């Protein structure tokens, strides 16, 4: 992460933190993601990157990677043995631009 | 005059619990041996309170209003927060808090010109406190805990010298402000190298980790501060490795002591290096660097 790009004003940070703290919002996100995104003052390119699962673009805009990791788990899964591994793999693939060097799931 | 009766530091990566059963045998042995050694020392030292410094991981505060240190002053702490349960894969736990010690810590830091925040209400805990608690069964010890949640990840976060100054103030507070004869245990929770959410999520810097553990065990704080800078930690894993700064207040509070480590694991699926240090307070050479 190049911290020189870090932008704490991005609305995606609030989205992730609210999802973490609010189980009902999480449920709505799973059922109707667009309706949840609508509630936040996301920049057009920010929203587009979320919808495209383009973490490289989000990080280049200044998203904090720790919250990026959490966003990936809202999308792909949060359980230790399966969903979180898939989320990590998809996230790394998006950031690297390829899926090489991703270890096999244990 | 209160006294420090034990001091240790351990990692808290969630996969240490959630993927423990799938880890190679040697990694499981190192994890078990490390947590057990610290657990036994805590039991033998019989602290009246355990002060734990740990990364907050953006779990309690907005990124736009993020405290560098947040003292958990509730009468009871519970975890993990519901969203983190499946991710960590650990059971529920609860430990007593120690509000008077939390307030004394806040008051003492403020008077010594160190900015901290204090919360009466219960805080959310993720792997930061949950993993050490369940791995060492801290919740079965009837041991009051005062967590100090630290900003190790939202820049600009407190660097090594700042965290070391926190530890020196902590030593003064324990000596001068806390109730006489109170027995205090100290625990740093975090590390080793990892880059959560980053492109190097699966990269572990074993060379850095082993050098860091060696320096902690040698108790050479001058070298520690010179070589293990926040910048160096960022190179070893951005946004994750700097949570080793939560070990600094512990080391500064006990002064230069020799420590013991119980092995190292860099199993990639933990997505974090593993190694713990237990300091021998009888070996203190000088108060602090």
Q: Identify the band that residue A1 occupies on the pLDDT scale cut at 50, 70 and 90.
A: low
CB contact under 8 A, B58 and A96: no
Q: Identify the band that residue B165 occupies on the pLDDT scale cut at 50, 70 and 90.
A: very high
Q: Which helix (H) or strand (E) holds B172?
A: helix B160-176
Sign of torsion over alpha carbons A43, A47, A50, A56: negative
Are B97 and B146 a contacting pair, CB within 8 Å?
yes
Give residue B175's pLDDT: 97
Mean pLDDT in chain B?
97
Tell me the C-alpha to C-alpha distance, in Å, between residue B263 and each of B15, B35, B214.
Answer: 18, 11, 11
CB contact under 8 A, B238 and A65: yes
Give residue A2's pLDDT: 66
Which pLDDT tens digit goes with each residue over B85-108? 999 999 999 999 999 999 999 999
Tell me the C-alpha to C-alpha distance, in Å, between residue B287 and each of B4, B10, B174, B214, B220.
Answer: 13, 22, 14, 20, 12
- Considering only the beta carbons, identify the residue of A64, A80, A102 that sits closest to B14: A80
CA-nearest residue of chain B to A18? B62
CB contact under 8 A, B202 and A83: no
Question: What is the value of ipTM here, to two decimals?
Answer: 0.95
Which pLDDT tens digit goes with each residue over B178-227? 999 999 999 999 999 999 999 999 999 999 999 999 999 999 999 999 99
Give Cβ neighbours of residue B117 (< 8 Å, ≥ 6 apart): B67, B69, B70, B71, B106
A14 touches chain B (CB under 8 A): yes
DSSP conformational letter for B153: S
Residue A81: pLDDT over 90: no
Q: What is the CA radius of gyration of chain B?
A: 17
- Considering only the beta carbons, identify the residue of A1, A17, A101 that sits closest to B202: A101
CA-nearest residue of chain B to A4? B155
CA distance B56 to B150: 5
Q: How many angstroms separate the CA of residue A19 from the nearest CA in chain B?
A: 9
CA-nearest residue of chain A to B236? A1
CB contact under 8 A, B58 and A64: yes
- Considering only the beta carbons, identify the residue of A17, A64, A80 that sits closest to B19: A80
Q: How many angstroms separate the CA of residue B159 from the nearest CA in chain A?
A: 15
Give residue B197's pLDDT: 97
Percent of chain B with pLDDT over 70: 99
- Per-residue pLDDT, averaged over B266-284, amounts to 96
Which pLDDT tens digit goes with each residue over B122-138? 999 999 999 999 999 99
Q: Output the pTM of the full model.
A: 0.97
What are the DSSP E strand ranges found in chain B? 3-10, 49-55, 69-72, 76-79, 93-96, 117-119, 145-150, 183-189, 259-261, 277-279
Best mutation target, B65, B123, B150, B199, to test chain A (most A CBs within 10 A): B199
Tell me the C-alpha to C-alpha distance, in Å, between residue B114 and each of B65, B97, B124, B168.
Answer: 18, 22, 24, 11
Beta B93-96 vs B76-79: how paired, if at all? Answer: antiparallel
Q: Which of B268, B224, B222 is nearest to B9 (CA)?
A: B224
Beta carbons within 10 angstroms of residue A32's beta carbon = 11
């Amino acid at each position: 992460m190049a911290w020189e790009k870090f932008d704490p004003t991005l609305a995606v940070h609030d989205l992730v933190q609210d999802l973490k703290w609010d189980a009902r919002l999480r449920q709505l996100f799973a059922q109707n993601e667009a309706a949840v995104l609508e509630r936040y003052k996301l920049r057009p390119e920010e929203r587009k990157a979320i919808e495209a699962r383009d973490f490289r673009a989000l990080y280049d805009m200044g998203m904090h990677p720790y919250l990026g990791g959490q966003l990936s788990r809202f999308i792909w899964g949060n359980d230790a043995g399966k969903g979180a591994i898939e989320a990590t793999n998809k996230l790394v693939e998006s950031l690297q631009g390829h899926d090489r060097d991703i270890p096999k799931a244990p | 005059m209160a006294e420090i009766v034990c001091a240790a530091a351990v990692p808290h990566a969630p996969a240490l619990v959630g993927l423990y059963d799938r880890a190679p045998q040697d990694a499981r042995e190192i994890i078990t041996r490390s947590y057990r050694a610290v657990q036994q020392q805590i039991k033998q030292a019989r602290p009246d309170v355990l002060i734990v410094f740990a990364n907050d991981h953006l779990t309690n505060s907005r990124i736009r209003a993020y405290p560098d240190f947040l003292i958990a002053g509730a009468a009871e702490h519970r975890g993990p927060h519901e969203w983190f349960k499946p991710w960590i894969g650990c059971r529920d736990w609860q430990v007593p808090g120690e509000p008077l010690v939390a307030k004394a810590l806040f008051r003492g830091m403020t008077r010594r010109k160190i900015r901290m925040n204090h919360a009466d209400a219960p805080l959310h805990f993720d792997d930061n406190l949950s993993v050490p608690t369940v791995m060492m069964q801290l919740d079965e010890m009837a041991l009051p805990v005062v967590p100090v949640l630290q900003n190790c990840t939202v820049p600009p976060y407190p660097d090594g010298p700042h965290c070391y100054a926190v530890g020196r103030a902590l030593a003064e507070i324990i000596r001068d402000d806390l109730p006489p004869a109170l027995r205090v245990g100290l625990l740093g929770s975090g590390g080793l190298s990892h880059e959560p959410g980053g492109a190097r999520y699966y990269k572990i810097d074993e060379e850095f980790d082993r050098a860091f553990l060696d320096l902690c065990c040698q108790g050479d704080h001058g070298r520690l501060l010179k070589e293990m800078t926040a910048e160096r930690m960022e190179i070893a894993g951005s946004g994750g490795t700097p949570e080793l700064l939560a070990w600094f207040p512990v080391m500064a509070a006990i002064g230069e002591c020799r420590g013991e480590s119980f092995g190292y694991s860099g199993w990639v699926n933990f997505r974090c290096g593993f190694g713990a240090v237990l300091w021998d307070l009888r070996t203190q050479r000088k108060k602090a660097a």
